[in-house]
């Protein structure tokens, strides 16, 4: 758990004063204006500020500098190290772009600066591109003492995006040039940001599943019901009805109505809803809506792999790139990485893994939840009725390992698992078995930045208990899932997991430093009770060992729905107990029946709450944070809640949970206050400028937009004060679900990240399976009866064909809990791969006729009461138990 999420603001990024100095002072003093009103009115308002983050309280963005320099905020100033021996002042620049100038207006530039080696700099306000025509071109002498500098000039021409450039090159000695309090006042007040929300009729722009709920939202001032019409592509009315007035939606401050056309099941494309004289974006009603999203959302991970060239044949021509961070200059990592100074005396090869997000850091605590949710996506196909495995299987996805006999989704997971294991402290070193929290650049890099061109030194940061438990959990899950495919790798995962668990128990409170955020995210987490629970759950499920069972049952989180899946949030990288609960609830394990029931009721209770949120909220979203506190990456919270709902649907077969997942999808794909689809390539108004150092088309038109299937972080209530310069400039005072900008600079609302695309991948698989309509009609019944004896048990399995067609040959699969191994078997061909067991017929019982049954049996190595085998599947489809 992380007590301080969302993060505490780092300071105001942009000060655009809209009140007079006296009024501002009055506001600071608590709002009592004691000076005569006339005096305040007479005082001229200061001219508008055109510089963003001029006091560097929000970090370095949006300042930039030339690649031959490095810069960072030190003691509240932006300090740039300029190299020796450049020829001209403009060979080294630190500057800011996108400054609007109005012809004829007068501007005042002020700043202070120091230079360790005194030098003359050029201070220009100019065009940002050739011919760099300047409105101000001054020479300033900068020494070791900070002296305020002021220049006044008049703009010659209207410029949308001028540049302020401090040209500090040309010196024969290296110097450190530090800037502070940069201000450029004058010109027109920047316009107040009005989001373009398009049509007030809000729908899922991808569409609706034929058998699912179909609801939308209308923004209108009307307070009485209004007629709506669903139109087919040819303009004919497919259905009509009246809206239900809902009042003011607190997440958007919009007055809204809802409408419902669930009764329509006719498939087609190009549907629209018309209401209040307005027309929605077009959408489809089809079963295969999410067919491509399954693969696209997973392709995200290959596209963000570190340490491997991205192949045009797999990723698409425009996304091909050389391998990043393989120790080839100018890269300084990741094959031989030192620790931060003073942290350790060894270096590690930590190549591989996925880049975290828009940045190119690699953080174990975020890799952990992301890789777990990919493995969950696969593991669901072993346990859930109607979960399709072929579309995640070998040859199904765009990964270089296709054709190696291993399901492609596991190949992708392995890329991260290998990296995480490389982050483990080697035997013989202090804190051996613990795991380094993260590896990233020593300083933040700017946008764009191709991974293979990153010149920064990479550094290992101290090990933490949270990272160690992330490895314990993810590697334990790895051990059971890879056992059928690669026994050596599975064993390596198991050893890494057990070693990590032991190390975490020995060092249970080694926390990440919340201040360790230069060059990468902090991912600080002040409470690891939840990571202990998750790791224990995965280790217990894989090994069946009692020590993990005891750890689970002793945890304060065990059985506590509110703690595991908080009603106003849900699981996330800082709160991971839910991952363990979902595993225990779905994957066969040795928990006593009463405990298993308790765990499952945690899932269904949480899902019930999220389902009600989709009914109660006017935009149908299964996410209702207290005070509308939409957090950083809120879309991933929505998706993680959808995973809980999907799991409850899998466990119970109840449509109410499935319907709530579908309403969550509606929100993400356009039924929301901004009329925005948050997934690239899906929906008419989809995000396309997510914050990313390679997919930075907005910064450099030669670079691509994100590929289809990339999820934007989404609305973030605290974005305006988080340091995000775009959010500070445009979103101050925003309504929660509208605190979003499809802008490449808005990292607090529009980043992409592995832990956000991972739940999208899980949900995409679920939605595609739901569209396929698998689930209801079960055509077999399985009875699974175990009888314990002193050193093992005997199990008889009976499978009955309750359908109307013969099944030949039949094949049954299920999972054995914990460490159980098959012994003697009879009346069928039984094989065990890891925990997966398959039973195939012998020649004499090959055909299972309608109404007929077959019996077979086995002895296994573990004593004790009959364990629940979970879902038993006949030829890939689940049977009814009992």
Task: Please state the closest distance from residue 764 (CB atom) to ligand 9MR, in A.
Answer: 20
Q: Which of 1, 6, 373, 692 binds ligand 9MR (CB under 6 A)?
A: 6
Judged by beta carbon, residue 356 or residue 391, the one nearer ligand 9MR is: 356
Distance CA 575, CA 5 (A): 10
Residue 313 is a catalytic residue: no
Distance CA 294, CA 95 (A): 42
* Rounded (10°) CA dihedral 93, 94, 98, 103: -70
Does 727 bind ligand 9MR (CB under 6 A)? Our answer is no
- DSSP three-state, residue 110: strand
Taking CB under 6 A as the binding criterion, the range among 236-244, 415-423, 516-524, 800-808 that sits at the site for ligand 9MR is 516-524
Contact 597, 554 (CB under 8 A): no
Task: Please state the closest distance from residue 406 (CB atom) to ligand 9MR, in A.
Answer: 29
Does 283 bind ligand 9MR (CB under 6 A)? Our answer is no
> Which parts of 522-581 interact with ligand 9MR (CB under 6 A)?
522-523
What is the secondary structure of 122-146 as a DSSP string?
EEEEEESSTT--EEEEEEEEE-SS-
Tokens representing residue 491 in the block:
């064993």
Distance CA 187, CA 105 (A): 5
Judged by beta carbon, residue 121 or residue 631, the one nearer ligand 9MR is: 631
Q: Which residues contact 605 (CB under 8 A, 6 or more apart)?
A: 561
Tokens representing residue 319 in the block:
């996304």
What are the phi and psi torsion angles at 875 (to 5°)? Answer: 45, 45
Beta bridge partners of 799: 782, 854
Judged by beta carbon, residue 353 or residue 869, the one nearer ligand 9MR is: 353
Q: Which of 459, 650, 659, 751 binds ligand 9MR (CB under 6 A)?
A: 751
Does 633 bind ligand 9MR (CB under 6 A)? Our answer is yes
Point out the catalytic residue in the list 751, 768, 769, 868. 751
Contact 472, 501 (CB under 8 A): yes
Taking CB under 6 A as the binding criterion, the range among 257-265, 446-454, 515-523, 599-607 that sits at the site for ligand 9MR is 515-523
> Which parts of 593-632 interact with ligand 9MR (CB under 6 A)?
632
Number of residues that bind ligand 9MR (CB under 6 A): 15
Residue 751 is a catalytic residue: yes
Task: Please state the closest distance from residue 747 (CB atom) to ligand 9MR, in A.
Answer: 6
Binding mask 342-361 for ligand 9MR (x = CB under 6 A): --------------xx-x-x
| CA distance readout (Å), 78 to 62, 63, 826 | 12, 9, 75
> Which parts of 182-221 interact with ligand 9MR (CB under 6 A)?
none
Distance CA 348, CA 340 (A): 12
Residue 359 is a catalytic residue: yes
Point out the catalytic residue in the list 359, 373, 388, 498. 359
Task: Please state the closest distance from residue 359 (CB atom) to ligand 9MR, in A.
Answer: 5
Q: Which of 69, 339, 599, 753 binds ligand 9MR (CB under 6 A)?
A: 753
Does 441 bind ligand 9MR (CB under 6 A)? Our answer is no
Beta bridge partners of 520: none
Task: Please state the closest distance from residue 602 (CB atom) to ligand 9MR, in A.
Answer: 23
Task: Please state the closest distance from residue 583 (CB atom) to ligand 9MR, in A.
Answer: 22
Tokens representing residue 840 in the block:
């195939």
Closest CA to 356 of 158, 520, 125, 495: 520
Judged by beta carbon, residue 91 or residue 359, the one nearer ligand 9MR is: 359
Task: Please state the closest distance from residue 829 (CB atom) to ligand 9MR, in A.
Answer: 48
Closest CA to 269 of 292, 250, 285, 281: 285
| CA distance readout (Å), 10 to 65, 403, 734 | 22, 48, 18
Does 867 bind ligand 9MR (CB under 6 A)? Our answer is no
Q: Which of 54, 307, 324, 521 binds ligand 9MR (CB under 6 A)?
A: 521
Q: Which residues contact 627 (CB under 8 A, 6 or more apart)?
A: none
Task: Please state the closest distance from residue 78 (CB atom) to ligand 9MR, in A.
Answer: 20
Task: Please state the closest distance from residue 748 (CB atom) to ligand 9MR, in A.
Answer: 7
Helix (H), strand (E) at residue 199: none
Judged by beta carbon, residue 7 or residue 407, the one nearer ligand 9MR is: 7
Judged by beta carbon, residue 6 or residue 775, the one nearer ligand 9MR is: 6
The angle at the Cα of 814, spanning 865 to 763, to the nearest 5 degrees, equals 120
Distance CA 401, CA 873 (A): 28
Task: Please state the closest distance from residue 746 (CB atom) to ligand 9MR, in A.
Answer: 11
Q: Which residues contact 30 (CB under 8 A, 6 or more apart)?
A: none
Distance CA 441, CA 518 (A): 8
Residue nearest to ligand 9MR (CB): 521
Point out the catalytic residue in the list 257, 691, 697, 705. 691
Judged by beta carbon, residue 523 or residue 619, the one nearer ligand 9MR is: 523
Task: Please state the closest distance from residue 690 (CB atom) to ligand 9MR, in A.
Answer: 10
CA atoms within 13 Å, Cβ hemisphere of 831? 8
Point out the catalytic residue in the list 49, 666, 742, 868. 742
Does 121 bind ligand 9MR (CB under 6 A)? Our answer is no
Contact 450, 321 (CB under 8 A): yes
Binding mask 7-26 for ligand 9MR (x = CB under 6 A): x-------------------
The angle at the Cα of 782, spanning 781 to 784, to the nearest 5 degrees, equals 160
What are the phi and psi torsion angles at 686 (to 5°)? Answer: -95, 150
Beta bridge partners of 853: 800
Does 706 bind ligand 9MR (CB under 6 A)? Our answer is no
Tokens representing residue 832 in the block:
């065990």
Taking CB under 6 A as the binding criterion, the range among 4-12, 65-73, 133-141, 759-767 that sits at the site for ligand 9MR is 4-12
Distance CA 823, CA 3 (A): 49
Judged by beta carbon, residue 213 or residue 358, the one nearer ligand 9MR is: 358
Radius of gyration, CA atoms only, the chain = 30
Does 62 bind ligand 9MR (CB under 6 A)? Our answer is no
Task: Please state the closest distance from residue 357 (CB atom) to ligand 9MR, in A.
Answer: 3
Judged by beta carbon, residue 359 or residue 650, the one nearer ligand 9MR is: 359
Closest CA to 444 of 57, 60, 12: 60
The residue ranges that bind ligand 9MR (CB under 6 A) are: 5-7, 356-357, 359, 361, 521-523, 632-633, 747, 751, 753
* Residues classed as catalytic: 359, 691, 742, 751
């Amino acid at each position: 758990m992380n007590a301080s999420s969302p993060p505490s603001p780092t300071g105001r990024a942009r000060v655009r004063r809209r009140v007079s100095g006296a009024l501002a002072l009055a506001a600071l003093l608590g709002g009592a204006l004691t000076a005569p009103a006339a005096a305040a009115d007479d005082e001229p308002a200061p001219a508008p500020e055109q510089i963003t983050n001029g006091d560097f309280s929000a970090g370095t963005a949006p300042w930039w500098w030339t690649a031959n320099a490095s810069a960072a905020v030190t003691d509240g100033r932006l300090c740039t190290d300029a190299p020796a021996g450049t020829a001209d002042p403009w060979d080294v620049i630190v500057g800011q772009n996108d400054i609007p100038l109005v012809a004829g207006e007068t501007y005042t530039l002020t700043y202070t600066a120091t230079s360790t080696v005194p030098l003359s700099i050029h201070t220009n306000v100019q065009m940002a591109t050739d011919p760099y025509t300047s409105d101000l071109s001054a020479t300033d002498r900068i020494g070791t003492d900070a002296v305020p500098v002021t220049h006044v000039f008049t703009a010659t021409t209207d410029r949308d995006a001028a540049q302020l450039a401090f040209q500090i090159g040309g010196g024969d000695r290296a110097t450190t040039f530090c800037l502070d309090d940069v201000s450029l006042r004058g010109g027109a007040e920047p316009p107040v940001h009005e989001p373009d929300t398009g049509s007030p009729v809000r729908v899922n722009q991808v569409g609706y599943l034929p058998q699912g709920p179909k609801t939308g939202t209308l923004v209108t001032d009307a307070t009485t019901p209004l007629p709506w019409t669903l139109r087919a592509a040819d303009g004919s009315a497919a259905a009509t009805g009246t809206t239900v007035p809902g009042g003011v939606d607190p997440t958007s401050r919009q007055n809204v109505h809802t409408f419902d056309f669930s009764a329509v099941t006719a498939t087609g494309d190009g549907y629209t809803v018309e209401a209040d004289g307005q027309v929605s974006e077009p959408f489809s009603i089809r079963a295969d809506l999410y067919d491509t999203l399954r693969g696209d959302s997973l392709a995200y991970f290959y596209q963000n792999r570190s340490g491997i060239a991205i192949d045009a044949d797999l990723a698409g021509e425009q996304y091909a790139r050389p391998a990043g961070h393989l120790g080839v200059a100018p890269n300084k990592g990741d094959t031989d990485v030192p620790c931060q100074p003073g942290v350790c005396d060894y270096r590690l090869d930590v190549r591989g893994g996925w880049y975290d997000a828009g940045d190119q850091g690699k953080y174990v605590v975020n890799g952990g939840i992301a890789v777990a949710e990919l493995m969950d996506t696969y593991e669901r196909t072993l346990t859930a009725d109607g979960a399709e495995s072929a579309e995640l299987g070998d040859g199904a996805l765009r990964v270089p390992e296709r054709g190696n006999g291993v399901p492609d989704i596991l190949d992708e997971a392995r890329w991260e698992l290998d990296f995480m294991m490389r982050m483990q402290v080697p035997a013989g070193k202090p804190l051996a078995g613990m795991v380094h929290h993260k590896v990233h650049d020593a300083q933040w890099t700017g946008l764009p930045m191709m991974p293979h061109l990153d010149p920064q030194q990479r550094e290992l940061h101290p090990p933490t208990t949270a990272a160690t438990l992330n490895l314990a959990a993810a590697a334990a899950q790895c051990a059971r899932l890879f056992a059928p495919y690669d026994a050596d790798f599975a064993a390596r995962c198991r050893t890494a997991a057990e070693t990590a668990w032991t190390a975490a128990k020995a060092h249970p409170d080694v926390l990440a430093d919340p201040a360790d955020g230069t060059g990468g995210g902090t991912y600080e987490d002040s409470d690891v009770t939840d990571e202990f629970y998750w790791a224990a759950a995965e280790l217990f499920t894989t090994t069946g060992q009692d020590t993990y069972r005891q750890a689970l049952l002793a945890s304060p989180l065990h059985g506590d729905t509110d703690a595991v899946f908080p009603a106003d949030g849900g699981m996330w990288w800082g709160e991971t107990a839910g991952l363990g609960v979902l595993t225990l609830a779905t994957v066969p394990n040795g928990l006593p029946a009463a405990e298993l029931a308790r765990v499952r009721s945690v899932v269904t209770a949480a899902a019930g709450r999220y389902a009600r949120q989709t009914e109660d909220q006017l935009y149908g979203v299964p996410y209702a944070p207290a005070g509308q506190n939409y957090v950083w990456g809120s879309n991933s919270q929505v998706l993680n809640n959808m995973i809980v709902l999907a799991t409850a649907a899998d466990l119970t077969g109840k449509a109410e949970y499935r319907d709530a997942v579908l309403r969550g999808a509606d929100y993400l794909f356009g039924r929301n206050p901004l009329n925005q689809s948050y997934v690239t390539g899906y929906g008419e108004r989809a995000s396309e400028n997510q914050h990313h150092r390679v997919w930075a088309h907005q910064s450099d038109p030669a670079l691509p937009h994100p590929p289809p299937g990339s999820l934007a972080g989404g609305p973030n209530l605290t974005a305006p004060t988080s340091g995000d310069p775009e959010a500070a400039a445009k979103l101050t005072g925003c309504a929660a679900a509208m605190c979003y900008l499809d802008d490449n600079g808005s990292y607090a609302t529009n980043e992409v990240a592995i832990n956000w695309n991972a739940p999208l991948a899980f949900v995409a698989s679920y939605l595609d399976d739901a569209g396929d309509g698998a689930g209801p009609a079960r055509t077999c019944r399985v009875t699974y009866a175990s009888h314990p004896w002193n050193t093992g048990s005997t199990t008889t399995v009976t499978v009955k064909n309750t359908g109307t067609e013969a099944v030949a040959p039949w094949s049954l699969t299920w999972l054995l809990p914990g460490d159980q191994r098959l012994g003697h078997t009879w009346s069928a061909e039984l094989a065990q791969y890891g925990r997966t067991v398959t039973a195939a017929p012998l020649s004499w019982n090959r055909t299972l006729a309608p109404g007929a049954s077959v019996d077979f049996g086995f002895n296994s190595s573990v004593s004790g009461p009959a364990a629940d085998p979970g879902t038993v599947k006949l030829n890939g489809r689940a049977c009814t138990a009992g």
